[in-house]
Amino acid sequence: MVYVCFFAAICASGCRSATERPNIIFILTDDQGYGDLGAHGNPFLRTPNMDQLYHESVRFTNFVVSPSCSPTRAALMTGKHEFRSGVTHTVTGRREMSLQSTTLAQVLRSAGYSTGIFGKWHLGSNGAYRPEKRGFDISVTSVDDTQRSHFDPVLLFNGEERQTRGFRENILFDEALQFIENNKEGPFFCYIPTYSPHAPLIAPQEHIDRNDGNVFYAMISNVDDNIGRLMQKLKELQLDENTVVILINDNGGTWGVDKYNAGMRGCKGTPWYGGTRAFSLWRWPGQLEPRNIEDLAAHVDLLPTLAELAGDGLREEMKKSLDGISLLPFLTEEGKALSDRMVISHKGRWPDGEGEVEAHKYCFCSVHWNNYLLVRSQTCGRDDCRGECRVFQRVIDGSTSTGYSKKADFHYAVNPRRLWALYNVKHDPAQQHDLASEYPEIVQKMSGTYEQWWKEVFPHIHREAEDPRWSQDYEPKQEK
């Protein structure tokens, strides 16, 4: 049923031949922040391979992702806000991406691409939700995406368990390089969502030594080495010119925000700019001129962009159902301005239970529009909330250390309830000057968009866990 839909959705007027279409490698790092990059001025961390990629890429400097893992992945895979595919958390029951969603991998496979995923899927570990059932020919993932074995992990190869040896990121890149070599005639789509540098903080000793004992930075440094290996392999296979390499991080900064966060307030799981701003690097030698694009772009744009790159794009009716737009004209044509748009972020993660979704409508959400950020950083106000309001309640109660930060009153700041705050994040990335009373008409326009958006997405905030298709045909073993 789903297959019929997306075969019809793509190649409506015939695909271009495979030789004209580039291979696509998409690397998504887990819990690395915008500031955790040498090229962004981090004085404590060396990332020579990511920096080289940065200098050879088109860079979206105002690029928005969701505040945490599964939500960003759902948006990347569907081209829609994650609530539209029912993803509202990172845990079982609320991270399963609706089976009615057509995935990026399905779109590219329909266009003739070989598809592989090597890393953290995090959109459902069981049955029909697994990546090899959702458009990937080859899938190498951890047994359950909450599993934290960084060394000697048991991995699933298209659902088959295999004991492996070594550091997980090195193994996943080895598998990705093999996939690239096997498919060098192209076109291929190689998705590498790393597990690093997400906690627990564990890294090979040589990287820990190289980073003066900072294990978080050591994990990034290991990914950086692997990206170096990947770029070398592309040159060896003479695929360098015909391959688009994309590097994005999946949410705001974590263990590095107190050291360097590019001047921004906010970290993973907050509605502040530092919670959802990501780097977004696009390298295609000879085709894309390295430069910055400051217009607002977002994770939901990946699917329509790659669909256009892979063929003749998507049919109008599918395009209309997406929140994303194709970035291809802006990538290839300098000086072309992106259309005026708003992008909405919401933390999600409300507790389970009757009425909880509505009770958290305004809890930790923001609206992006050009350089404006409209923020509601507020709890639901109930003392007995079992959700993540508790983290912010601690800050209200005077704690200066919570979550990822010992400057919690800064990164986890809470605003007065029932008020939107407005910031110009280009001039004020630390979000110190609330412009709401100065520009009431802008607040009204942006908050009006939020109200309309909530009405639209609310019916999609559902759980498929009770659905019979959510089968338990794979039972993950307990981690050792």
Nearest distance, CB of residue 251 and Ca ion, angstroms:
5
Residue closer to Zn ion, measured from CB, 185 or 352: 352
Residue closer to Ca ion, measured from CB, 21 or 122: 122
Nearest distance, CB of residue 30 and Ca ion, angstroms:
4
Among Zn ion, Ca ion, none, residue 67 binds (CB under 5-8 Å by kind): none
Cβ(394)–Cβ(402) below 8 Å: yes
Residue closer to Ca ion, measured from CB, 53 or 69: 69
Residue closer to Ca ion, measured from CB, 204 or 269: 269
Among Zn ion, Ca ion, none, residue 446 binds (CB under 5-8 Å by kind): none
Neighbour count for residue 12 (Cβ, 10 Å): 14
Radius of gyration of the chain (CA): 21
Among 387, 392, 408, 443, binds Zn ion (CB under 5 A): 387
Among 69, 74, 318, 385, binds Zn ion (CB under 5 A): 385
Cβ(269)–Cβ(72) below 8 Å: no
Nearest distance, CB of residue 197 and Ca ion, angstroms:
9
Determine, following the binding rule CB under 5 A, whether residue 357 of this chain makes contact with Zn ion: no
Nearest distance, CB of residue 129 and Ca ion, angstroms:
19
Among Ca ion, Zn ion, none, residue 30 binds (CB under 5-8 Å by kind): Ca ion
Among Zn ion, Ca ion, none, residue 389 binds (CB under 5-8 Å by kind): Zn ion
Residue closer to Ca ion, measured from CB, 64 or 69: 69
Q: Which residues bind Ca ion (CB under 5 A)?
A: 30-31, 69, 250-251
Binding segment toward Zn ion, per CB under 5 A, in 221-229, 285-293, 321-329, 388-396:
388-396
Query: Going by C-beta distance under 8 Å and a sequence separation of 6 or more, which residues neighbour residue 179?
Result: 114, 116, 118, 138, 188, 190
Determine, following the binding rule CB under 5 A, whether residue 309 of this chain makes contact with Zn ion: no
Determine, following the binding rule CB under 5 A, whether residue 389 of this chain makes contact with Zn ion: yes
Nearest distance, CB of residue 84 and Zn ion, angstroms:
23
Nearest distance, CB of residue 95 and Ca ion, angstroms:
12
Beta strands in 304-449 (DSSP E): 342-346, 365-369, 372-376, 421-424
CA 60 centroid distance within chain? 14
Pick from 67, 123, 77, 147: nearest CA to 350: 67
Q: How many residues bind Zn ion (CB under 5 A)?
A: 4
Structure tokens at 184: 């060098």
Among Ca ion, Zn ion, none, residue 428 binds (CB under 5-8 Å by kind): none
Distance, in Å, from the CA atom of 344 to the CA atom of 296, rounded to the nearest integer, reads: 12
Residue closer to Ca ion, measured from CB, 31 or 169: 31
Distance, in Å, from the CA atom of 247 to the CA atom of 26, rounded to the nearest integer, reads: 6
Nearest distance, CB of residue 257 and Ca ion, angstroms:
13
435-461 b/e (C-beta count within 10 Å ≥ 16 → b): bbeeeeebbeebbebbeebbeebeebb
Cβ(73)–Cβ(299) below 8 Å: no
Pick from 144, 168, 149, 164: nearest CA to 475: 144
292 exposure class (CB count in 10 Å sphere: 0-12, 13-18, 19+): exposed
Cα 446–Cα 60–Cα 339 angle in degrees, nearest 5: 45
Cα 243–Cα 245–Cα 248 angle in degrees, nearest 5: 165
Amino acid identity, residue 70? S
Among Zn ion, Ca ion, none, residue 380 binds (CB under 5-8 Å by kind): Zn ion
Nearest distance, CB of residue 416 and Zn ion, angstroms:
16
Binding positions for Zn ion, 362-381, rule CB under 5 A = 380
Residue closer to Zn ion, measured from CB, 291 or 417: 417
Nearest distance, CB of residue 357 and Zn ion, angstroms:
11
Among Ca ion, Zn ion, none, residue 171 binds (CB under 5-8 Å by kind): none
Among Ca ion, Zn ion, none, residue 391 binds (CB under 5-8 Å by kind): none
Among Zn ion, Ca ion, none, residue 175 binds (CB under 5-8 Å by kind): none
Q: In degrees rounded to 5, what are phi and psi of residue 194? A: -75, 160
Nearest distance, CB of residue 479 and Ca ion, angstroms:
19
Q: Kindly state the DSSP code that residue 135 receives in the 8-state scheme.
A: T
What residues line the site for Zn ion (CB under 5 A)? 380, 385, 387, 389
